[in-house]
Amino acid sequence: MNIRAISLILCLLIAVPGAIVAQKSKTKKKSKKEEVKDQFDVPSYTKADSLSYSLGMSIGSNLKQQPIDGFNGEAFKTGVMDAYKGKQTMMTEEESSQMLSAYFTMKQQEVKKENLEKGMAFLEENKKQEGVQVLPSGLQYKVVKKGEGPKPTTSDQVTTHYHGTLIDGTIFDSSVERGEPATFPVSGVIKGWTEALQLMNVGSKWQLFIPPDLAYGERGAGAAIGPNATLVFEVELISIEGK
């Protein structure tokens, strides 16, 4: 969760007490249109309560997914309500921003370090597995199926099927699951892929074990691939455009 997300949380949360009114369904089954209409045919205070509770649920879910060490719900609620009601806050906006920035920078560094250490330990053990080859760059691969076709160069465009996971088996991308191969330039992918593709014959299927410096490095890629993540791919080289 970044500073912008936290700021949005502080702006959105409105703690409005009160119960959410639920209406009993009638014996006669209503149409979908009538059901939707009924959701809005309630007193305005009930809609405000429902909206406030929904915002709280959303924020709570985000905090659960990316927990803050020693999170204090009462202090959080006080901060929200002080800011929302325009009361005197316990710190300035600048102090708050600096605190959040320092905290999330620290957490990001911890994640980078943890991912790097786990990845290096994984690769160290993986290279001992039967059939695993290690290239000077640190890229590891295992031939699942050897093809007989030509090998692509960095100027080629290729079509592949692939299945990508983290070292814990979490799938982050898979053309196999989508049921549709992907076409892209050899030079337009991560370094580990570019290096491996030039060694593969068309028709080959390899497992790739890619260290972070040959993948997405410290920046990661979206929510699925964290900083310094080691990646595992199964790649099948289907064809080279024009060859």
Catalytic residues: 162, 172-173, 190, 216, 233
Q: Determine the straight-line distance between the first and last CA of the chain, rounded to whole angstroms.
A: 46
Structure-block tokens of residue 169: 């088996």
Do residues 243 and 151 touch, judged by C-beta distance below 8 A? no
Do residues 162 and 235 touch, judged by C-beta distance below 8 A? yes
Do residues 131 and 209 touch, judged by C-beta distance below 8 A? no
Q: How crowded is residue 197: how many other Cβ atoms within 10 Å of its Cβ?
A: 25
Distance, in Å, from the CA atom of 51 to the CA atom of 219, rounded to the nearest integer, reads 36
